[in-house]
Amino acid sequence: MDTKKLTAVALNGLDRVGYELENFGITNRVNRHTLAAFMMAEKNRFEGEMDSLNARTARYRAIAENAAELAFRPARAATETVRSLISGKSA
């Protein structure tokens, strides 16, 4: 589901909850506007956490790729030396 549609559905649900709270007379500190504001703030916080997680994942992926490259470098050099010896070229 698209995040905009999901947000719209969630906000409509919160609006409905706020409307029902108003009907019960609970309007002092909790109303549909504060619920919608809370939902939007949490959505932004969640997006920030996801961005942070994606950045950390990319960082660790780059570290792993560099480590693999360093680990395979001697093997590649040895393979090239063997290939050049087999083909008759000097190393």
35 vs 47, more confident: 47
The answer on pLDDT for 55 being more than 90 is yes
The answer to whether the pTM exceeds 0.85 is no
Tokens representing residue 59 in the block: 């960082």
Confidence grade of residue 33 (pLDDT, cut at 50, 70, 90)? confident
Tokens representing residue 64 in the block: 């792993």
- Using the structure block, give the residue that is written with the tokens 């409307």: 19
pLDDT score at 6: 81
pLDDT score at 27: 65
In 3D, which of 4, 39, 42 has the Cα closest to residue 31?
A: 39
Interval 46-73 mean pLDDT: 93
Contact 31, 18 (CB under 8 A): yes
pLDDT score at 62: 94
